[in-house]
């Protein structure tokens, strides 16, 4: 009964509209686009979903020693970030610096997400590329970094990995999956999606610009990815897929730590590349931009812009380019997260730029409603989007502030009945939609219209 619940509820809300035909493989390694040997002669991405079947709580972690059994503060946040970086360094240094060695290694202790390999037309998901397992990210015009030397539009390509503790949650969600039968029905209705204490998720993002096009990337680690070209409107689908050189710019470390963060359970830490930092290689030149462990709901940054945040730390010595895209009230947001929106409407007035998001406010919207294909809560405090114009809630008002509250990961932002919170995992929200698309198509529900709002918001969130 439990195993089939998600499928049954999806079926109950279907309406026939028009035919859709796509075979989606939940176990797909990549999106099926493989470079020829003449295009790329190195190793390809490996897909590890042999998730741990039991939870082993990490003990005496280096970052917990920084805390002294007390919540994180701005005074010790830098040391906390550096302890996390040192902890993941043995494997992640190779991952960042040496693409071929990483692809050929066992990658022991790091896992990837099911339902994320193939592209999915209904949800707009472009799948995982075959060289380094990255996903297409946000697109920014050169004007965002006009004072920092960028001369072309830039897109990021992100790779996401889960450590053993985090991957145990993926086991809970996908424990009924059977590759031999090509069956993979996710389980989320009994808190399976809640991550365990000590879980670590990393997300590294590389920029499409070359050092010649963006000089601050000089010396950054180079990744090759296999993707189609893009413009400011998104991927150019009628162009051929090509091997593209990218430079690693961001490294996020996300940790479930209820001592450091008793109000949300999570700490989001971001490192950025600084070509002027001390160090012998690009990994050593990844420096803390900052950390965030709460949304500072008591600080109304719109009404009191000078009031100090207590739950975000920004490294004063971080490179200046990385601070351009900080979020609402200068809450943490990385260079590719698009916390700043341009030419939006606020109270019927066009605002040239508006800091509208943050790491936790975005991820805190992650949720899924078993009988609804729409995005339950959009990433940003937006009333509506018409003709690509965003009509925002008034910064600092009651509606706006709903995005900047502190909630535990099992409490959804939405008040709709039946909404399930996904513990700050926007990635899990996406793959659940991919599953819904697969089920809809396999059962010929022909309900593409129900996915349109999701696709619209996802597309809009990837650009300025």
Q: Is the Cα dihedral 405, 326, 254, 422 positive or negative? A: positive
Reduced to 3 states (helix: H, G, I; strand: E, B; else coil), residue 328 is helix
Asked if 165 and 209 touch (Cβ cutoff 8 Å), the reply is no
Within its chain, how far is the Cα of 300 from the centroid? 26
- Mean pLDDT lowest among 160-169, 357-366, 431-440: 431-440
Residue 393 has pLDDT above 90, yes or no: yes
Question: How many contiguous H segments (helices) and E segments (strands) does the chain have?
Answer: 9, 17
SS3 content of the chain, % helix, strand, coil (to 5): 25, 20, 55
pLDDT classification of 271: cutoffs 50, 70, 90: very high
Within its chain, how far is the Cα of 377 from the centroid? 16
Please work out, in degrees rounded to the nearest 5, the angle formed at the alpha carbon of residue 327 by the alpha carbons of 281 and 415: 125
How far from 64 is each of 60, 72, 409, 424, 455, CA to CA, in Å?
7, 10, 20, 21, 40
Within its chain, how far is the Cα of 311 from the centroid? 20
- Residue 166 makes CB contacts below 8 A (sequence gap 6+) with 111, 195, 196, 199, 200, 201, 256
Please work out, in degrees rounded to the nearest 5, the angle formed at the alpha carbon of residue 155 by the alpha carbons of 286 and 401: 80
Average predicted confidence (pLDDT) for the chain: 93
Q: How far apart are CA 194 and CA 50, in angstroms?
A: 19
Assessment of whether the complete model's pTM goes beyond 0.75 = yes
Residue 160 has pLDDT above 60, yes or no: yes
Q: Per-residue DSSP letters for 68-90?
A: TTS---TTTHHHHHHHHHHHHHH
Nearest Cα residue to 326 out of 311, 310, 338: 338
Span 47-58, pLDDT tens digits: 999 999 999 999
pLDDT of residue 4: 44
Residue 447 has pLDDT above 90, yes or no: no
Nearest Cα residue to 295 out of 200, 230, 361, 250: 361
Q: For the chain, how many residues are written?
A: 464
Residue 328 has pLDDT above 70, yes or no: yes
Q: What is the CA radius of gyration of the chain?
A: 21
Residue 408 has pLDDT above 50, yes or no: yes
pLDDT of residue 6: 60
Reduced to 3 states (helix: H, G, I; strand: E, B; else coil), residue 19 is coil
Helix (H) or strand (E) holding 193: none
Q: Per-residue DSSP letters for 181-227?
A: GTB-----TTSTTPPPTT-EEEEEEEESS-TTTSGGGTTPPEEEEEE
- Mean pLDDT lowest among 24-28, 149-153, 308-312, 385-389: 385-389
Strands 266-273 and 419-421: unpaired
- Surface-to-core class of residue 74, CB atoms within 10 Å of its CB (0-12 exposed, 13-18 middle, 19+ buried): middle
- Mean pLDDT lowest among 139-153, 197-211, 370-384, 415-429: 370-384
Alpha helices in 31-155 (DSSP H): 62-67, 77-97, 99-104
pLDDT classification of 17: cutoffs 50, 70, 90: very low
Reduced to 3 states (helix: H, G, I; strand: E, B; else coil), residue 91 is helix
């Amino acid at each position: 009964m439990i195993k089939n619940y998600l499928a049954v509820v999806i079926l109950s809300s279907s309406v026939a509209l028009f035919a859709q035909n796509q075979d989606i493989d939940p176990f797909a390694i990549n999106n099926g686009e493989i470079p020829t040997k003449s295009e790329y002669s190195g190793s390809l991405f490996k897909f590890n979903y042999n998730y741990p079947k039991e939870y082993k709580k990490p003990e005496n972690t280096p970052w917990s020693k920084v805390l002294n059994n007390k919540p994180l503060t701005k005074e010790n946040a830098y040391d906390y970030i550096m302890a996390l970086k040192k902890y993941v360094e043995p494997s992640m240094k190779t991952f960042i610096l040496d693409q071929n060695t990483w692809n050929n290694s066992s990658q022991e202790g790091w896992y990837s997400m099911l339902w994320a390999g193939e592209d999915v037309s209904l949800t707009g998901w472009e799948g995982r590329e075959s060289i380094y397992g990255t996903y297409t990210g946000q697109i920014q015009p050169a004007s965002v970094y006009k004072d920092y030397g960028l001369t072309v539009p830039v897109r990021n390509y992100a790779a996401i990995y889960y450590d053993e503790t985090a991957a145990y949650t993926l086991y809970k969600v996908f424990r009924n999956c059977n590759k031999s039968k090509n069956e993979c029905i996710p389980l989320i209705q009994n808190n399976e999606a809640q991550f365990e204490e000590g879980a670590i998720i990393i997300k590294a993002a590389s920029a499409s610009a070359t050092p010649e096009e963006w000089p601050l990337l000089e010396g950054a680690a180079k990744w090759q990815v296999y993707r189609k070209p893009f413009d400011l409107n998104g991927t150019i689908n009628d162009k051929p897929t090509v091997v593209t050189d990218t430079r690693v710019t961001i490294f996020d470390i996300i940790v479930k730590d209820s001592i450091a963060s008793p109000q949300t359970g999570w700490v989001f830490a971001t490192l950025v590349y600084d070509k002027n930092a001390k160090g012998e290689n690009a990994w050593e030149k990844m420096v803390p931009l900052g950390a965030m462990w709460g949304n500072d709901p008591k600080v109304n940054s719109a009404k009191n812009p000078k009031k100090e945040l207590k739950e975000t730390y920004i490294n004063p010595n971080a490179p200046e380019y990385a601070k351009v895209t900080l979020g609402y009230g200068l809450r943490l947001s990385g260079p590719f997260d698009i916390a700043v929106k341009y030419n939006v409407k606020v109270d019927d007035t066009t605002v040239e730029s508006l800091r509208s998001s943050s790491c936790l406010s975005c991820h805190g919207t992650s949720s899924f409603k078993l009988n609804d294909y729409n995005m339950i809560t959009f990433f940003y405090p937006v009333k509506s989007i018409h003709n690509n114009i965003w009509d925002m809630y008034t910064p600092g008002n009651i509606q706006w502030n709903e995005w900047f509250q502190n909630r535990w990961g099992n409490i959804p932002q939405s008040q709709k009945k039946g909404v399930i919170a996904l513990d700050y995992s926007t990635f899990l929200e996406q793959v659940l939609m991919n599953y819904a698309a697969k089920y809809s198509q396999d059962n010929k529900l022909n309900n593409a219209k129900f996915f349109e709002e999701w696709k619209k918001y996802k597309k809009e969130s990837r650009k300025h």
